[in-house]
Every structure is written in C-alpha cells, then in structure tokens.
C-alpha cells in the first residue's frame, strides 16, 4: 500500500537558519511521482515540486532544494536561509502512475508545520 510519512509534526527555527523537512514514502510501484506542497494560513495549496521515480537528480530552486534517494525511499526538502514568509505547513505527497490515465490519486503525508521566527 502507498504511504507517506512526515515524522516532524512541527519545526521551529530562527530566521536565516537552514531547515530540512523529511519525507519517507512506501510504494510497490516502480513508476510513481513525488510532490511537495506548501499550505500557508490562507489554506490554498501551493505547488513546489514534482519528481518522477526515474529522476533521482537533486533539484535546487532559489533557497529551496530537494534530495530524492530511492535507496532510502526519501524525498527531503531543505530551505536555506529561512525567512518568516516560509512559515507554513508543508506536505509531501505520492502519486502512483496509472497506465490508463484515470487514477493518479495523491496520498499526502501528515504535514510539517514550519514556524520561522524573526
């Protein structure tokens, strides 16, 4: 069965600190997609990144970076030099490939609430 685990429920850092949000997933499929979303207090989900299971290259986008390791089934997210505006709940999610393009359900982790203090 599919499962996404974000063991860190809450993280609190001081501005300019680096912070890593952990994500561990379980799936029996060889083809799948991993996502990270940000949910600010307004509630609207903000898409951050998508990775397919065949692309293990790490990605960097500004202060954000992602480390995908299939060997440990992890897809961790690091924010460098955190800012107060980064305060939000962050969700990791998994979608298994659907050959008939009808499924692709997203399974979300429990979320990590990040609080960045000035």
> Applying CB under 8 A, which of residues 43, 71, 100, 118 lies at the interface with other proteins?
43
Residue 12 contacts other proteins per CB under 8 A: no
Residue 67 contacts other proteins per CB under 8 A: no
Looking at the Cβ atoms of 33 and 64, the one nearer to other proteins is 33
To 5 degrees, how large is the angle CA 20–CA 105–CA 48? 35
Structure token digits, residue 63: 């202060």
Residue 72 contacts other proteins per CB under 8 A: no
The C-alpha atoms of residue 72 and residue 79 are separated, in whole angstroms, by 21
Cα dihedral 42→76→72→11 (10° resolution): -70
Question: Going residue by residue from 92 to 111, which x/- string records binding to other proteins, judged by CB under 8 A?
Answer: ---x-xx--xxxxxxxxxxx
Looking at the Cβ atoms of 19 and 91, the one nearer to other proteins is 91
């Amino acid at each position: 069965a599919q499962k996404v685990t974000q063991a860190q429920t809450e993280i609190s850092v001081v501005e300019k600190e680096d912070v890593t949000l952990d994500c561990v997933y379980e799936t029996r499929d060889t083809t799948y997609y991993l996502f990270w979303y940000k949910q600010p207090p307004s509630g609207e989900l903000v898409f951050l990144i998508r990775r397919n299971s065949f692309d293990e290259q790490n990605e960097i986008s500004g202060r954000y970076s992602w480390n995908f390791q299939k060997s440990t089934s992890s897809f961790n997210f690091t924010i460098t030099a955190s800012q107060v505006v980064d305060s939000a709940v962050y969700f990791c999610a998994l979608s298994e490939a659907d050959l008939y393009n009808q499924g692709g359900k997203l399974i979300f982790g429990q979320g990590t609430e990040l609080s960045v203090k000035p």
